[in-house]
Amino acid sequence: MSRTKRAAAVAAAVVALGATSCGTSNTGAGTGTGATAAPMSASPRPTGTGPLTKDVVRTDLDTAAADAGLPANAPEFADVNADAPAGSAQACGIAFKGFGTKATPADTARFDKVVDELRERDWQQPGDRKEYKGTDGAVYEAHVVLKQRGWTMGAEYRNAGEDGVITLMAFDDTCMKKNGTGTSPSG
């Protein structure tokens, strides 16, 4: 490949991926017609060691959830930070929330699968999984923290009713540091 073609390919990739920032992104946003359908493939892994873009992280959440067989992202969570002002704590985060149904429960098996899918996308788990069990021994809550290239993600399972819910919240570490300690991405 000539240098000109290589430079054009790199420029196209930069434009396609965008720049990491505290700004908002509409990628993965709901269409207003129901739950957001998640793509069924792994997100592209940009080369290098720099921070991931918000779009790549959004794709990681959506594709990992879809590949794990989770229900689609609830529209109100796909767009939770879409209107956040650039530079605000709310603009630092990306959310996925899959509410289980009778046909597709959000259970511990699917939680384990989505965490495995995220690991396949190079997310690293620096600590142990935390679980809370009921008196019957069943897990009613589980938490895992994952990290990758400037982002921290909390993955959570809750046995909310009989169908459960799985939440993935990813935060741009640099964006959160700019907003000071003690700020909350939810406002």
91-144 tens-digit pLDDT:
888 899 999 988 888 999 999 999 999 999 999 999 999 999 989 888 999 999
Residue 186 lies in a domain: no
pLDDT at 62: 92
Residues 59, 76, 70, CA angle at the centre, nearest 5°? 50
In a domain, 85, yes or no: yes
- pLDDT at 48 (0 to 100): 66
Number of structural domains found in the chain: 1
The predicted pLDDT at position 162 comes to: 74
| Residue 115: per-residue pLDDT | 97
Is the predicted pLDDT of residue 87 greater than 70, yes or no?
yes
In a domain, 60, yes or no: yes
CA-CA distances (angstroms) from residue 11 to 8, 25, 43, 52? 5, 20, 19, 16
Residue 187, domain member (yes or no)? no
Q: In terms of pLDDT, which residue wins out, 16 or 65?
A: 65
Q: What is the pLDDT of residue 45?
A: 61
How far apart CA 187 and CA 172 sit, in angstroms, is 15
Tokens of 109: 């098996």
pLDDT (0 to 100) of residue 49: 73
pLDDT single digits (tens) 7-39 = 333 333 333 333 333 433 333 333 333 444 444
The answer to whether 71 and 98 have CB atoms below 8 angstroms apart is yes
- The answer to whether the predicted template modeling score (pTM) of the entire model surpasses 0.85 is no
Q: Residue 183 falls within a domain, yes or no?
A: no
Query: In whole angstroms, what is the distance from residue 19 CA to residue 130 CA?
Result: 34
Q: Over pLDDT 70: what percentage of the chain?
A: 70
Cα of first residue to Cα of last residue in the chain, in angstroms, is 48
Query: What tokens does 169 get?
Result: 């919240």
Boundaries of domain holding 110: 3-178
How sure is the predictor about 181, in pLDDT bands with cuts at 50, 70 and 90? Answer: low
For residue 172, is it within any domain? Answer: yes
How does the average pLDDT of the chain come out, rounded? 75
Q: Say if strands 139-148 and 93-99 run parallel, antiparallel, or are unpaired.
A: unpaired
